Structure 1
């Protein structure tokens, strides 16, 4: 009985170290892939991409807020991973995912409410004012 628990604990410790290594290399691969893609883009492509992003950000201002919040939460929780104490790796990762998803869903909800406010309250008022002034 005791031998089985020792064997399982060794397996878990190897598994958690593998997860940390995989997450580190995955982050490195993503960042190097992004850098290669940006380096290959010409200045016209970059300007077109930037203008598309800025246009989308102006249409839906909560999308960049959601993206920034997601990255901030994930970055903070990854830095905090070393000092997690007795909390299992899987529980820590689940908490990180729930916090990041919650922020993104909240930003999307606020964005939808804001666009509904603009479309159904502000726009009809402006149209009504335009009709009364004519």
Structure 2
């Protein structure tokens, strides 16, 4: 099972620990879910736009949000690793 050096974490504790290590992953996932939810909501009121074009716009929006969150996360981790350590 588990050794005393590595006690078993609950799912909540593991999620909190992982969120502290890389805080922009949940932000990216939440943003992606928000873009998809908004796109599904707007699907009824898309007007004359074809379904395929609407879905492509949803995909591009969701991917853009996730890539943006990943970029900010990488910049944040680089700042923490290189600039914050040099000041200490």
Relative to the length of structure 1, the TM-score reads: 0.58
Alignment RMSD? 1.3
Give 1 or 2 for the bigger CA radius of gyration: 1
Are 1:52 and 2:14 an aligned pair?
A: yes
Whose helix fraction is larger, Structure 1's or Structure 2's?
1
Question: What is the aligned partner in structure 1 of residue 77 from structure 2?
Answer: 115
* 1:66 aligns with one of 22, 25, 28: 28
What is the alpha-carbon distance in structure 2 between the residues aligned to residue 92 and residue 49 of structure 1? Answer: 36
What is the alpha-carbon distance in structure 2 between the residues aligned to residue 105 and residue 55 of structure 1? Answer: 22
Deviation at 1:109, TM superposition (A): 0.3
Structure 1, unmatched stretches of 5+, are 1-44, 127-134
What is the alpha-carbon distance in structure 2 between the residues aligned to residue 79 and residue 69 of structure 1? Answer: 15
Deviation at 1:68, TM superposition (A): 0.6
What is the alpha-carbon distance in structure 2 between the residues aligned to residue 114 and residue 49 of structure 1? Answer: 26
Are 1:93 and 2:55 an aligned pair?
A: yes
Deviation at 1:63, TM superposition (A): 0.7
Deviation at 1:123, TM superposition (A): 1.1
Relative to the length of structure 2, the TM-score reads: 0.88
Alignment of 1:1-134 (within 5 A): 48-126=10-88
Deviation at 1:125, TM superposition (A): 1.4
